[in-house]
Amino acid sequence: MKDKALGLLGFDSSGNPVGGGGGACTKPVDVPYGTPFGKRGSMGSSGRHTGLDFPAAIGTAIKAVAGGRVSSSGSTGPYGIHVTADHGGGLSSLYAHMSQMLTAVGAPVSAGQAIGRVGDTGNVTGPHLHLEARRNGVAVDPMPFLTGTGSGGGSGAERWRGVVRQALQMTGNPAQYADLTLRRMNQESGGNPNAVNNWDINAKNGTPSVGLMQVIRPTFEAWAGHMRGVGPKLFGVSTNPLANVYSSMRYAMSRYGSLPTAYNRPGGYANGGFPDVGELAWVGENGPELVRFLHPTRVHSNSDSAAMVRQAASLQASGGRPTQLRAYVHVYVGDREITDIVRTEISVYDADLASALTYGRNS
């Protein structure tokens, strides 16, 4: 009974996360890839392959690529015996041509959980799993999700979307909280699971903030629950993505009442960074920081902000001067610069900003 309960939450019998150690989705069958997405042929009514195939022997276990809930199933038609899992955020996965289903509609699933067995039901030429990834009901290439380069993959905090969804499910939170969690994660660590804050008051007290959500050791030990022993660890805090996010969520809910209240708090740019376009934030976790709304938006660190303010004050005292923006335009054919319109490169140099930083740091 214990193993079954842990399995539903995405853990093995030892309490370790299944398929939760990275940003990519779990490969559903551990075999070489077959027919790729989009290949032309007679597959389906579109004339293109709408999924990714995994040729395997009948009876081979099929694993869920990510945590979620079974939204539908069927046993007839071109897909044969098949199951669809909803992962939240408009993303779902479909597993077709099964010989047997190991789950049911409405049941929760975790990444790596066996949900069926490979078969040859429906329209097939041989036994295999046909995996489809769908975004808002439209089939998209599953490969980026499996290799960590799509939603649930990607760069920065976004590559941990699958982990965040799993932690939300484990803590009883709705899937729509994924975006606010990832935004906060981007503020705290930029999506670096090994990030360590060695300059704030926590570090001075001997308990530096660690991981994706910048958790300190006392918080992790108090709120990690059954994931307390999951490693690897830095300064007593797990850098395992799921363990780190899970402990942060449990602490946030206890301390602030809800994830939105906790994760929408101001701050989080103590070392500078790049907030989302349009984000409204009061920055200054470790001293006032200036927000420069360019492309991309830039939050200057406290030291750089102070330097710029010192230079601005100096300019104002001396009568000030207008902002100078210098643009250098070069036109090329290949590597040869000419005076024809073929390719134009524009280098922008902000003299005021450079002067403010150089002068202010030395003031």
Please state, in angstroms and rounded to a whole number, the distance separating the CA atoms of residues 26 and 112: 6
Q: What does the angle CA 258 – CA 262 – CA 264 come to, to the nearest 5 degrees?
A: 115
Instruction: Report, as an integer, the average pLDDT of 87-115.
Output: 92
Helices (H) and strands (E) in the chain, counts: 10, 18
Domain 25-147 has CATH 2.70.70.10: yes
Look at residue 32 and tell me whether its pLDDT is greater than 90.
no
* Residues 174-212: tens digit of each pLDDT: 989 998 898 888 878 878 888 888 777 788 888 999 999
**Residue pair 165/259 in contact by the 8 Å Cβ criterion:** no
pLDDT in tens, 252-294: 999 889 999 888 865 544 445 555 444 444 455 455 556 655 5
SS3 84: strand
Is the pLDDT at 9 greater than 50? The verdict is: no
Q: What is the mean pLDDT of the chain?
A: 76
74 vs 154: CA distance, rounded Å: 32
Same fold: 25-147 with 156-263: no
DSSP 176: G
Token couple for 242 = 């799921």
How close are the terminal C-alpha atoms of the chain, in Å?
A: 67
pLDDT value at residue 25: 74
- pLDDT of res. 336: 72
* Six-digit token string for 141: 């290439």
- What are the helix (H) ranges across 65-215? 143-147, 161-170, 178-188, 201-204
As a whole number of angstroms, the distance between CA 30 and CA 32 comes to 7
Hey, where are the domains in the chain?
25-147, 156-263, 319-361
CATH value of 156-263 in 3.40.1380.10, 2.60.40.10, 3.40.50.280, 1.10.530.10: 1.10.530.10
Query: Does 332 or 15 have the greater pLDDT score?
Result: 332
Closest by Cα among 263, 221, 220, 26 to 133? 26
Please state which of the ranges 1-15, 191-205, 341-355 shows the lowest mean pLDDT: 1-15
Query: Taking residues 126-149, what's their average pLDDT?
Result: 83
Per-residue pLDDT at 55 exceeds 70: yes
pTM of the model: 0.40
- Which tokens hold the place of 73? 């199933």
If pLDDT is split at 50, 70 and 90, which confidence band does 92 have? very high
